[in-house]
Amino acid sequence: MPRSRSVLSPANPPTDQASFVASIAYSGSILVWSVGNGILVDSQGSLQFHSTGDLLLVNGSRTILWKSGTSGLGVAFATLEESGSLILWNSSSNAVWSSFDNPNDILLPVGRGLRRVTC
């Protein structure tokens, strides 16, 4: 099981208002990937998988702040890989989008802490 897998984590550094970043972290502190390079969302925000196949970051007023751009590509499921990459797959099990297409400058220990999780 991953040592840490964050969906919404507090902004770093903290801001005046309650702000969060949708991200994947290793061991609670090493940022593996963040939505839109750290777009801030309020405490009512969420990361949503839409029926069109897009992964969306939505704030509390339901404004879309970021989307994966995978609408219409037949996305059927998502996985979180051992490497820390979030991947969206179509019904033929072909990857159509990966968080590692826009990676952070981080090297993770191989074979420690993260594993594939199907969502």
Please report, for the domain that includes residue 16, its CATH number.
2.90.10.10
- What's the rounded Cα separation, in Å, for the pair 54 and 118? 17
Q: Is 25 a member of any domain?
A: yes
Instruction: Answer yes or no: pTM beyond 0.85.
Output: no
Task: Output 54-59 pairs: Cβ under 8 A, ≥24 positions apart.
Answer: 55/88, 55/97, 57/22
Q: Which pLDDT score, from 0 to 100, does residue 15 have? A: 52
How far, in whole angstroms, is CA 111 from its chain's centroid? Answer: 20
Which ranges of the chain have pLDDT less than 50? 1-10, 13-14, 112-119
- What's the rounded Cα separation, in Å, for the pair 17 and 4? 24
What total number of domains does the chain contain?
A: 1
Q: Which residue range is the domain that position 33 belongs to?
A: 8-118
